[in-house]
Structure 1
């Protein structure tokens, strides 16, 4: 199963303030009062006045993102970070292989990254997306890591996150659907324990 992510993540109020009035900004709710802003070509053009460029080869440590950051886009996200930490996250998985990359700004400056990983040999907290989310202020909970704790597994591609945001869905909505499905699959006396952690999110 494939997974694709290209998004800005930050405090929900910060993103609401910075994207107010934009035609192509759609905020999708995450847990812990964070929100995800799917990064589409239309949004980049609205923010910077120019369509984005994309890397022609596969991402690696030297070119960690498919999205090529123009100076205008990097400067804009740095400005947003004067109101609080802001992260750009990318991931792509298909057929069991893939990569993650992330970068974080705060107080108008790049403070961490870019970081890239396609082997996932480091401990889970050091994977790029988990590490970036901790720097945003994500706190541990009952899920296996910050990626799952905030709900980044709930949609698997940009179109899904756009729908998630436009419909005003929350992580609680998906948790309730999972509980309802589990209840339907098992009798009251045979209800299995609710699974705590999700699977291996090195490969979403």
Structure 2
């Protein structure tokens, strides 16, 4: 089963303030008062006035993102970061192989990254998405890493996060559904499908 993400993550109030007047902005709730903004072609066009470009070469340190962070898009996100740190995150996995990339802005400037990894042989906190989330202020908790602690494993795609945000679900939605099912002692065949456990790659 695969995983794909293209999103901005920041303090929930920051993102609400910056996107309140946008037609194509949908926020997904994360834990610790963070929110996730799925980055779609429609959103990029609304923010920049131009359709997005996508890299056709293999991801690498020189080409860390599938979405080309144009000067116009980077300027918008850097501007938002004057109200607090903000990260653009990308991840794609299929069959256990894939990549993570991330960059962080704060105070109107790039303060970390872009970072890229496809080997994941270093400490888990140094993986790009985890490292970016830590720089946003994510705190450790019961989950294996910041990726899971904030709930980025709850949906498996950018499209999933769009649906999640439109339904105004919480990051604990699947756990809440399972608890409700168990309390009602429904038939086993009615148990909702839950997000699978977070694996060694930091994704379910």
Offset, 1:172: 2.5
Residues in 2 aligned to 1:173 and 1:100: alpha-carbon distance in whole angstroms? 25
Q: Is the 8 A contact 1:59 1:65 kept in 2?
A: yes
Count of residues paired in the alignment:
195
Residues in 2 aligned to 1:6 and 1:79: alpha-carbon distance in whole angstroms? 19
1:1-204 aligned at under 5 Å gives the runs 1-180=1-180, 198-204=198-204
Offset, 1:180: 4.5
Residues in 2 aligned to 1:182 and 1:148: alpha-carbon distance in whole angstroms? 23
What are the superposed Cα offsets for residues 135-170 of structure 1, whole Å, 9 maximum, x if unpaired? 000000000000000000000011110010000000
Q: Is the 8 A contact 1:120 1:202 kept in 2?
A: no
Q: Is the 8 A contact 1:44 1:73 kept in 2?
A: yes
- 57-66 or 175-184, larger mean C-alpha shift: 175-184
What are the superposed Cα offsets for residues 62-102 of structure 1, whole Å, 9 maximum, x if unpaired? 10000001100001100000000000000000111000000
What runs of 5+ residues in structure 2 fail to find an aligned partner?
Answer: 187-196
Partner-residue secondary structure (3-state), 2:143? coil
Offset, 1:21: 1.1
Partner-residue secondary structure (3-state), 1:24? coil
**TM-score for both structures, normalised by structure 1:** 0.91
Offset, 1:181: 5.7
Residues in 2 aligned to 1:200 and 1:182: alpha-carbon distance in whole angstroms? 28
Q: Is the 8 A contact 1:7 1:38 kept in 2?
A: yes
**TM-score for both structures, normalised by structure 2:** 0.91
Residues in 2 aligned to 1:139 and 1:115: alpha-carbon distance in whole angstroms? 20
Residues in 2 aligned to 1:9 and 1:129: alpha-carbon distance in whole angstroms? 10
Residues in 2 aligned to 1:201 and 1:52: alpha-carbon distance in whole angstroms? 29
State the superposition RMSD in angstroms. 1.8
Report runs of 4+ in structure 1 exceeding 4 Å deviation. Answer: 180-185
What runs of 5+ residues in structure 1 fail to find an aligned partner?
Answer: 186-196
